[in-house]
Amino acid sequence: MHLLFDSTRYVGQTGWGAETTMEDDWDMISFVIRSKYRVAVLERLVEGPATPSRIATDKDIAIAHVSRALSGLRGDGHDMVELLVSEDQKKGRVYGITDTGERVWYRLQTEGMV
């Protein structure tokens, strides 16, 4: 992973698709930090793919909160997490972080927001 800077301004990262600016990510950053559950789920998925029950156990939060956080991080154009198994599979669903999710998590960390 290679970070790209224009003077002191981060403009993107190779390996993460099209060039983006930090300003483009602020809406997603704000969305994540408004919920401690979304923060916890994203943090856990940075470590690697997991089922909702594994995330709940690892982060010591209720499965209902995990499910709601996954839905939010995945839907409404946020696309920070993805389902790694078939949509038809109802048990043992495995989720992973996307390039967008990694980029947002990196920004949260570098800004000291998590």
Question: Which domains does the chain possess?
Answer: 26-110 (1.10.10.10)
Which residues are CB-neighbours of 79 under 8 A, at least 6 positions away? 98, 100, 101
Q: 86-103: per-residue pLDDT in tens?
A: 999 989 999 999 999 999
Q: 22-59: per-residue pLDDT in tens?
A: 666 899 999 999 999 999 999 999 999 999 999 999 99
Which amino acid appears at position 75 of this protein? G
* Tokens 């704000």 belong to residue: 30
Specify which residues 95 forms β-bridges with. 50, 83
Short-list 102, 109, 99, 114, CA closest to 47: 102
Confidence tier at 76 by pLDDT (50, 70, 90): confident
User: What tokens were used for 113?
Assistant: 């927001």
